[in-house]
Amino acid sequence: MRAFKKSGHRIRIPKDRARIAIVAENLSEVDAFQLEMLLIYLHGRIDNGTGILRNLTDGGEGTSGTIVSSETREKLRISHVGVPWTPARAAYKQSAETIAKRSRSLTGRPVSEETRRKLSAQAGWKHSIESRLKMSRAKIGYVPWNKGKRKEICLLGHTKVEGNHGMICNVCAANRKRKWRSKHKVESK
């Protein structure tokens, strides 16, 4: 399912997801490598002029199970010290303990007056009139994907009654009103 990941790849995901073909699922690592080699052989590579794929190798040389020495780990650690945060570095899920530690370390931290001024200036920021006009012109001729499509059932699967044009049917609307009235202790009419 690497084809659906955005970070860590030189090749962009196609906008038309139908162009992504999942050929096989739940393969062992060895079978996956063999299938990769076969598909690269059949379709060819762009870099060596044999086909259409952007692979830079003939496949089959995965790195799982590689044992990294402590020296290499230390070199990698040192190379990442001082490197600014990027979405690619944040792709891994942090534990609740790590998040709590960071929260405690930042709580009560003094913020300079300059930083406060910058943050307050950003709070009420709006696009200029020129920018808004440019964005408006760019939307001319754009048709939303759901323009003219009408949903005949509500989000909970109830059949909609003629004349109700929202995403909620009369049944759901009545239930919602009933719950609101009971919560706010309003007498029904």
- Domain coordinates of the chain in residue numbers? 1-79, 151-189
C-alpha 56: how far from chain center: 26
Phi and psi, residue 159, nearest 5°? -70, 135
Taking the C-alpha atoms of residue 81 and residue 170, their distance in angstroms, rounded to an integer, is: 59
Alpha helices in 1-141, H assignment, sequence order: 29-43, 70-80, 96-106, 113-123, 129-138
Q: Give Dmax (Cα) for the chain.
A: 78
pLDDT value at position 130?
94
pLDDT tens digit string along 29-38?
888 888 888 8
pLDDT tens, residue by residue, 40-90: 888 888 888 888 888 888 888 877 777 889 999 999 888 888 777 776 666
Report the C-alpha gap between 166 and 169 in whole angstroms.
7
- DSSP category for residue 186: P
Distance from C-alpha of 42 to C-alpha of 51, rounded to nearest angstrom: 8
User: Given this model, what pLDDT does residue 22 score?
Assistant: 84
